[in-house]
Amino acid sequence: MEQLVKKYAKKLSSAGLAEETGPLSPLVGGIDDTLVWNRKGEEIKVLEQIFNGLNINSLVFLRPKAPYDKIIGFLAREAIHTNGLIEPKDCETRTFLHDLPVVNQFSTDKIINSLKRRKSVIVALEDTTGVCDIAVIAHGTVSPEQGFVVTSSVCFACFVKFFTDYLENLQLGRSTREENTLFDCLAPDLHPNLAPGLTPMTLEPMNLPDLAKGPFLTEEQIYAAIVQAGRKTVEQGLVDSYFGNISYCRNNILYISQTGSSLDELEGCIDPVPLDGSSSAGLTASSELTAHLETIAQTHCEAILHGHPKFSVIMSMDCDPKRKAICPHKDRCHIHCPHKRFINHIPIVPGEVGTGPTGLCNTLPKAFGKSSHVIVYGHGVFALGKNDFSQAFATLMEVEKNCRRSYFEKVRKLRTADFID
């Protein structure tokens, strides 16, 4: 357990979510025979009482670093003054977290009450100027990995929510001064060349990793290539926690990452699934197995890489809010968006996780007509490679850059128009 709590504290800092050392670095605790923590900390006194009030074996206490501290602080303050919840609409939140409760005291009772209902709680301590000091807490019943996954997802969901809401509010002419201020404060770090009022865009150089070249002829080569591509996808921030999936098809067998596996640790977590359904290996395979199978059948590509890059998810949710207001499916764009949408020719499709009639396995493969990559509403990007992951990886990065550029460009135009009015 001592190794595990240290491992997941480190993963939070390598993911850019927290400081690596010092009083703001993550606290991760887990019970073996006794309760062990990755480091000492004054918060532990309160956190240990949470173990007494819940049937859990581990806890993660994350003080998110920039930009997540400011973003979650902003959303948490709104939540404290309304219904006590942050309600992101992306797919990770919908399928996994539901909503994010916020409490305004570092109080054992309040934390326990929230964690009885949900996988996480955000503690937001507001000072006299209205700035919130933030911590994200999540528990695990099996392993500290659960708390790691949840706290990472909370950061992802809040990031996506702030930028999605901001763009929508600008389009509806109802953005607030606080939102504008926060955006201006975050923008230079996210896209130095595109902050409002600054010089026009220049393309950043692509930092493409050197991935194994296909076609891969042996199982050994296939496993190694999948492991490598998965790890690089996480390292480049194109997916968080244990989301995303990856597959390679060879000789009528689809090699696919298992459900609940982390893309940066796929060794031993890849299932070979025969295309003829002759084996039950698919049972532990990714929940997107059917979508992968259908896509392979439709496109005859061998490699599929799926990540959740943030600005692709944000731009996918930018269904015109004025049009949406009168749309019968307005809050169900993720299932039924009736509008054919593209970002720079990249198709955006609705689709639920799983295999129902509105499931990804039906919406996704069809969308790979002219494009080798598709964005799923509020969810992420699926990119194809002919016989290795280089092209798919390059595409995933390019799509994200495209979407980020489009986002800042759209905000700049809306703000300039606003200024001229």
Interface with Zn ion by CB under 5 A: which residues?
319, 333, 337, 380
CA R_g for the chain: 22
Q: Indicate the SS3 state at residue 196.
A: coil
Chain-centroid distance, C-alpha 3? 26
174 vs 323 by CB, closer to Zn ion: 323
Smallest gap, in angstroms, from Cβ of residue 307 to Zn ion? 8
28 vs 319 by CB, closer to Zn ion: 319
Smallest gap, in angstroms, from Cβ of residue 112 to Zn ion? 31
Smallest gap, in angstroms, from Cβ of residue 348 to Zn ion? 9
138 vs 239 by CB, closer to Zn ion: 239
Smallest gap, in angstroms, from Cβ of residue 303 to Zn ion? 16
Are 309 and 399 within 8 A, CB to CB? yes
Phi, psi of 134 (to 5 degrees): -115, 140
Q: How far apart are CA 405 and CA 408, in angstroms?
A: 5
200 vs 328 by CB, closer to Zn ion: 328
37 vs 242 by CB, closer to Zn ion: 242
> Which position has the token pair 């959303």?
75
111 vs 239 by CB, closer to Zn ion: 239
221 vs 284 by CB, closer to Zn ion: 284
Which strands form 100-103's sheet, in the order they lie side by side?
35-37, 27-31, 58-62, 132-140, 120-126, 100-103, 85-86
Q: How far apart are CA 241 and CA 233, in angstroms?
A: 11
Smallest gap, in angstroms, from Cβ of residue 324 to Zn ion? 6
Entry field: residues in the chain: 421
56 vs 234 by CB, closer to Zn ion: 234
Smallest gap, in angstroms, from Cβ of residue 266 to Zn ion? 15
Smallest gap, in angstroms, from Cβ of residue 164 to Zn ion? 13
Cross-strand pairs, 257 = 270
Smallest gap, in angstroms, from Cβ of residue 345 to Zn ion? 18
Q: How far apart are CA 37 and CA 26, in angstroms?
A: 10
20 vs 320 by CB, closer to Zn ion: 320
Smallest gap, in angstroms, from Cβ of residue 237 to Zn ion? 15
Residue 291 sits at the vertex; the CA angle it makes with 385 and 209, to the nearest 5 degrees, is 30
Supply 214's token pair.
């296909």
Cross-strand pairs, 27 = 61
Smallest gap, in angstroms, from Cβ of residue 153 to Zn ion? 12
Q: Indicate the SS3 state at residue 352.
A: strand
Instruction: Please provide the DSSP assignment of 197-255 as one string.
Output: TSPPP-PPPP----PPPS---SHHHHHHHHHHHHHHHHHTTSS-TT--EEEEEETTEEE
- In 278-420, beta strands by DSSP E: 303-307, 341-343, 346-349, 373-376, 380-385
Outline where 118-218 has alpha helix (H): 144-171, 177-190
56 vs 381 by CB, closer to Zn ion: 381
289 vs 337 by CB, closer to Zn ion: 337
Are 118 and 152 within 8 A, CB to CB? no
Smallest gap, in angstroms, from Cβ of residue 115 to Zn ion? 25
Supply 409's token pair.
């460009």
